[in-house]
Structures are given as C-alpha cells and as structure tokens.
Structure 1
Amino acid sequence: MRTRAGDDLIERILARPGDGDLVGPAANDLLSELYAGYPVENLTRLLHSGDDRNLPTATWLLSELGGLAAPLIGEVPALLSSPIRSVRYQAIAVVLDNADERHGPVIAQVMNLSRDPEGAVRWKVLEFLAEATVEQLEAGASCLPPGPLKQLAEWLILQDGEEPDLAGIVIRLEAGDPVTRLFAAAAAASLSDKQDAHLLERAALLEEEEIRSFAQERLNDLREEATD
C-alpha cells in the first residue's frame, strides 16, 4: 500500500508541475511516504520527467531527506548545473548531507558555485563551507584545477588545525575579492563560539548581502545559545 500511495502522489505532482515554486500538499505527503519507506529511487520519475518544472519539487524532497537521499547522489551534478536557482540551492544541501571522500567532483562543483550569479546560492555555498567536514573539503579541493579557488579551499582546510590563521581570516575578510571573503566568512563561522565571535562580527559588516546575513544569523544563534 505504501508503494501505491507514493506512486499516486508522484502522478499528482507530474499532472500539476510547479511554476518554479515548491508543490504543496502532494509534495509534503510524498515526503512523509519517503520517510515511511517509499523508495527514494522513485523520485527519478520527477527528476527525469522531461519537464523542468518538476525539478524544484524533486530537489526539495531530496534536500529534506538528509542521508536517505544517498542513493540518488549521482543525480546531484545535473541539479547543481540547473538554470533554476532553487534547484541549485537545494542541491547543495543534498551534497552536504550525503557526499563523502568518494564524491570529490560534486563537492568541487559546490565550491565552484561560490561564483554563482545568485546571492541565495552563494549563501548556501557559504553554509556548506562552514559546515562541511574536513574530509568533504579535502575531497572537493583535490578535484579543483590549480588556481585561486583551489588555493582558497586548501587554505580553509588548514583552519581546522591547532593554529588557525586568524590574522589571515581578517585580511581576507577585509581585502579579498567576493569569493575570497566568502571562504574567509566560512572560516570565521567554523571558528566562532560563545567565547569568541569577533571574526563573525567582522563578516557581518561586509557589503555582500549573502555574507552579511549569514554572519548575522550565526551571531544570533550564538547569542541564543549563550542565554540558554
């Protein structure tokens, strides 16, 4: 019966594709079915329907499944290359939850989106860089071609060591190009805690809206934690 219910919901979504926004009740019901055991592989019907209006719903579902989306990690490179902003945005979350050292190319693809023309996507890349494991970052960096982006990724990895480059973070926040500042803000977020948030406070003053809003959100989280 669970398979029948999930299949019916996919048919409903296919019959009424979205217009770039997420499909409502049917998508939410399908998410519940997926959590209850409906095979995630069946989402390929939405991913390969031939109608790109289904992609935002399919990618949102994958992003909400956390590690349950792992069987479809091979679908993510195409989603990260989608012309639809919300698809690229949600696909980054899928990589964060499911990619490991075997998935260097797709992690590198996320890093390349630090140059995305859409601020919302760059915000999501910043979140990825701040929350990714060292193993994920190393896998991605290893698949980047030589150049400034690879250097930034390798520098970010070093900040997880015993002696992070605090002065270098400040310099990159204040004097770097937008991509450099984004990587520096990720380092600031990963190093900031209840006792020391001065790096995030610097990031919250930058002109790039995606960096400024991300840093302010993290600062608010730290303040809430401090009052708990």
Structure 2
Amino acid sequence: MQTQAGDDLIERIRTHSADDTVVGPAANDLLSELFAGYPVENLQRLLRSGDDAAVGTGTWLLSELGERAAPLLDEVPALLAHPLRRVRYFAIEVVLLSTDAAHGPVIAQVMNLSRDPERAIRGKVLEFLAEAADDQLAAGAAALEPGQVKELVEWLIRLDGEEEPDPRDIVARLEGPDPVARLFAAAAAAHLSDAEDMNLLRHAATAEDEEISSFARRQLGELAE
C-alpha cells in the first residue's frame, strides 16, 4: 500500500503545486496509487477541501474507480449538488458505476438532474438513463417524489418490460415540446434499439434538439461497430 506516495500526491493536488487542471500528472499518479491499494477513503481530503479544483479532481478520481468508489458514496449527494458543472458531471458517472438497488435516493438525485440548466449535465443524465441497470432504474423511481420525473422513469421501466412496446409513444415524446420528456424518450429509444433494429435511434438522430440528435448519433455509431 503506497501510503506515503498517495498522501504526497493528495497534498500536491490540494495545493495545485503539480498542475491546476482536473486531470493532470498528479491526478493520474494518484489514480494508479488507488488501484494499487491506497485507501479510497483518503479522497475525502480532496472532496471536502472546499477548493473547486481539488474537489473536481477528487470527483474525477471517484468516477474512474468504478465499484472501488463504494466507500465514499455518502459523499456523492453533495457532489451532485455542487455548483461546478464538472463536479456534477463526474458525480453522475460515479452513481452509474458504483450503485445498486440499495442506493435509490442518490440515483433519484441523478434523475432529477434531467432538469439541470447545463446542457452537458442533461446529456450525462441521458447517458445514465440509457446505460443504467434495471435495478438502478427501479430503485431511483421508488425514491423519487411524485411528479414528472418519477412518471417518466416509471414509463421507461414499463417500456423495458413490454414484449412489444408501441414506438409511436416514443416518437411522439421525441417530437414533443417538453425537453425533459424528449430526454427520456431518447433513453427509451436507446433501450429498445439493437444492431438488428435501429429505427427509433435513427428517428432520434433527426431531432431538431441537438442534445437528442447528438446522443442518438453516438449510440448508432456504437451499435454499428
């Protein structure tokens, strides 16, 4: 366990002595230390530092650790509510990779970010909705307060459970006026598309909403590989 090296790297990041970017040499070296056994709990010194650059680096590190980030999941609600966009962005990735059915409230918090004013955050929520496991979606839905987001998550779950879902419902939402409904419809298009049938994603790729069309184009590219 590389305790001394890890401690030194955390101090360098906290003081910006190595670099002033989220992902720099010190951050990459610290990530290697974490995979080598340096305790993930020590990242609290970055996450609770009150320094935006350090918090951003700490959140990025958590997002790279996958299930290893589990000991610090209690830190994530504050990160999802952070005023800095990049912190919220990386925190969504942490929730995607590190949570399960036992983490409904923090998953619900991600789902509510579908209304975030920042386009990059809404796009990351769309990726989350498209990639989340069934138990994650169900746990988030159960923890949501009644309202539009809960209704849309439950709609997405129902579609996944239907043998022959009606594509017209998805298309209507994709073409509708509500941006949150369009986001969930794009996630539904991703859930119901595969290499054999990409029609819904192709339709989403023609949307006037660039947020939706760019997501659909990326999904189509992945399916075509």
TM-score tier after normalising by the smaller chain length = over 0.9
Contact 2:23 2:60 in 1 (8 A): no
Contact 1:92 1:124 in 2 (8 A): yes
**Aligned twin of 2:108:** 108
Alpha-carbon shift at residue 13 of structure 1 (Å): 0.6
For the residue of structure 2 that corresponds to 1:160, the secondary structure is helix
Alpha-carbon shift at residue 176 of structure 1 (Å): 4.6
Q: Does 1:150 align with 2:150?
A: yes
Is there any run of 5+ residues in structure 2 with no aligned partner, and where? none
Alpha-carbon shift at residue 209 of structure 1 (Å): 2.1
**Aligned twin of 1:181:** 182
Q: What is the Cα-based RMSD across aligned positions, in Å? A: 1.4
**Moved segments of 4+, more than 6 Å:** none
**Aligned twin of 1:31:** 31
CA offsets 1:53-108 (integer angstroms, 9 cap, x no match): 21110010000111110111110000000111111111001001111111111111
The aligned length equals: 223
TM-score under structure 1 normalisation?
A: 0.94
**Aligned twin of 2:202:** 201
TM-score under structure 2 normalisation?
A: 0.95
Alpha-carbon shift at residue 34 of structure 1 (Å): 0.5
CA offsets 1:119-146 (integer angstroms, 9 cap, x no match): 1111110000011111111111111111
Is there any run of 5+ residues in structure 1 with no aligned partner, and where? none
Alpha-carbon shift at residue 170 of structure 1 (Å): 1.2
| Matching residue's letter, 2:196 | Q
Write out aligned runs for 1:18-167 (5 A): 21-161=21-161, 162-167=163-168
Contact 2:22 2:53 in 1 (8 A): no
**Aligned twin of 2:224:** 223
Contact 1:201 1:219 in 2 (8 A): yes
How far, CA to CA, are the matches of 1:195 and 1:48 in structure 2?
47
Contact 2:171 2:200 in 1 (8 A): yes
How far, CA to CA, are the matches of 1:62 and 1:81 in structure 2?
16
